[in-house]
Structures are given as C-alpha cells and as structure tokens.
Homo-oligomer: A and B are copies of this chain.
C-alpha cells in the first residue's frame, strides 16, 4: 500500500475520493434510510463527504454520521467501492445502523431527511443500486450476526427486538422460538429495569458487548 505499484509509467492518475454512508434506522414502524438533498445537486442522494488526506476511511464515515444525526457512536461497516470509468471520483460506501429516534440535527444546513426504504424519492444515478445492495447486506447480516441491537436503544424488551427483526426481514416470527433462540445464544442479558405501559410490564434487556456475535451457520458445502 505504501510502495508504488509497478507499472510501466511513473506518473499516476489522481482521483477524488468520496465517502458515502447508507444510514438505516427504525422510525414510524418502518426501516428508514437517511438521504440529503444539497442545493447544488437538487436531487436526493446518500450523505457523503470528500476524503481528506489526513483522515481514515472509517473515521470519515463516522464523522459523516455524526454530522447528519448528531450521534457519536454507530455501527459502521464498509460496503463497497464504486468507480465509474471516465470520471475521476471514486466512492467508498459505508453502511451504518443508528438507534431508533436518532434525531436529525442541523436540519436546514444539511437538508437531510429520513425515508422508508419502500418509498424512496428519485435518487442521483447509481445511488439506487447502492441502496438496494446495502439493504440486501443488512438482511443477510441479520441472519448470522447480532446486528439487530444496533437499531435499538440501550435497553429494550424482547418484543421490541422481535419487531425489529420482523421489520427488517419483512416477515412474522414465532414469539416463543424467537425468545428461546436469542436467549440461548447468550448475547443479551436482562437488566433490572422494566418498561411499563399498556398491559404487563416488560423485562428489559441489554446487549452484551462481549458476546461473540457471529455464529457458524449450517453449511451447504460440504
């Protein structure tokens, strides 16, 4: 990475690098994504910033999330790097999960908004594709890792967790099987809090950050 790659010529083309972030959250009973509409573009697009030479990729993505949501900790993962030949700007796309009810700050400056993933506005070219890919990755990841907690506040009830999974996967789940599995996996622990409301109060749980989140799935091959 530090040394020049070996090519015939010695001068290398220069590119601009843009970090885009697909930020998901749960709002209004649906999975939503953060989009912004800068005046210069006049069209909705993923929030993004230009990479500076003195900043890391993930660091920059995290800064972008903070700037648009005000949150300082979010689940972040590199998704894909795009480059369209003929241009001179490459886009490194991250995806992020932020807890429910993360409010937008700087609303006017950033002109950003949440949109349900099933009801998106027209987007800048290629961002549709990126979004579809991010969504696929999120669903996929949900099936073999513990990523669902990132969309919930620190303390949550099992019913809330189940709804999260149902919303993202788009299917209903069996309550008893869901509880058994999630508890057996040992990735959450109960807290001393309970949430009152209509009906019987719910036991609240917390994610155990020390838990080993990825689990070996059944293999097809061999």
Contacts and interface: CB of A to CB of B under 8 A. Distances in A.
A144 interface: yes
A3 B144 contact: no
A205 to B, nearest CB: 14
Interface residues of A, number: 74
Contact of A86 (B48, B53, B143, B145): B53
A61 to B, nearest CB: 11
A221 B80 contact: no
Contact of A219 (B81, B84, B144): B144
Contact of A143 (B38, B83, B221): B221
A16 B18 contact: no
B144 A217 contact: yes
Interface in A133-170: 142-146, 148, 162, 165, 169
A2 B78 contact: no
Contacts of A17: 13, 15, 17, 83, 90
Nearest to A4: B40
A103 B173 CA distance: 52
A50 B3 CA distance: 11
Contacts of A85: 53-56, 59
